[in-house]
Amino acid sequence: MGGPVYLPHFGEGGPAIGYKGKNRTFFFFDYEGLRQDLGTTTTLAVPSRAARNGQLAGGTITVNALMRPFLNIYPLPNGTETGDTGTFSFSSQAVTKENLYTLRIDHKFSDKDSLNGIFLTDPSEDHSPDNFNFAQIGQKASRKMISLEETHIFKSNLINVARIGYSRSVVVAPITLALSIPWRGIPLLVSRQVTRWGY
């Protein structure tokens, strides 16, 4: 969306503030949104049922009772089991949300001088289960940019362009959003790990 910028007139046929804006000031605005709900399948190796009971491929052992709650953290195989391991797979959704806003304003002072400014912001977030389907994890990102450009024509073969800008990007990751399954047999401990990148 874009077009010229007109300033209001005061009274019937009154003058505009400074200038009418016609053929001098223009704006452009753009919005882009992303909503993605992507189905994924994760497959991983977990201890087999026999291994949980101490029946290993190399021999039989006694499983310490204190270790059983930690073995229960791993889901039971729902695929093939070979020796000490089996396969566990699950379907999940990877959800992404992003909004991009861009605004540009161009102003022509004269036939020899012009100025334009751009503002951009791009917040986004995504989340999906971890590899063991224990918890929903994700990240949040934010990007902002501002720039100004002035163009001056000295003569037909000499033009000066001056630019100044500011840009900042911040990523917060990983963040734990929610537990996917109850933990059995061990105290519940949820940590929130945050790592920031920004410039």
Q: What separation, in Å, do the N-terminal and C-terminal C-alpha atoms of the chain show?
A: 30
Pairing assessment for the beta strands 55-56 and 81-82 based on DSSP bridges: unpaired
Q: Tell me what the pLDDT averaged over the chain comes to.
A: 84
Report yes or no on 104 lying in a domain.
yes
**In this structure, is residue 81 part of a structural domain?**
no
- In the chain, which ranges are continuous DSSP H helix? 49-52, 68-71
Q: What is the pLDDT of residues 44-101, one digit of tens each?
A: 999 999 999 999 999 999 999 998 888 888 889 999 999 899 999 999 999 999 999 9
**Given this model, what pLDDT does residue 191 score?**
43
pLDDT of residue 17: 53
From the list 51, 55, 53, 45, the residue with the least C-alpha distance to 75 is 45
Residues 168 and 159 sit within 8 Å (Cβ to Cβ):
no
Residues 6+ apart with CB under 8 A from 21: 4, 5, 6, 7
83 lies in some domain: no
Distance CA(179)–CA(137), nearest Å, equals: 9
91, burial (CB in 10 Å: exposed 0-12, middle 13-18, buried 19+): exposed
* 14 assigned to some structural domain: yes
8-state DSSP, 57: T
Whether residue 19 has pLDDT greater than 80: no
pLDDT at res. 75: 87
Strand ranges inside 48-188, DSSP E: 55-56, 59-60, 81-82, 85-108, 113-121, 124-129, 135-155, 158-179
Number of domains comprising the chain: 1
Domain assignment present for residue 194? The answer is yes
Does residue 59 sit within a domain?
no
Asked if residue 67 belongs to a domain, the reply is no
Instruction: Provide the residue range defining the domain that includes 188.
Output: 2-43+94-198
Tokens 């002035």, located at residue: 150
Residue 72: per-residue pLDDT: 84
Rg (CA), the chain: 30
- Please answer whether residues 86 and 80 qualify as being in contact, where contact means their C-beta atoms are separated by less than 8 angstroms: yes
The two tokens of residue 56 are 């290993």
Task: Report if residue 161 sits inside a domain.
Answer: yes
Answer whether 0.85 is exceeded by the pTM. no
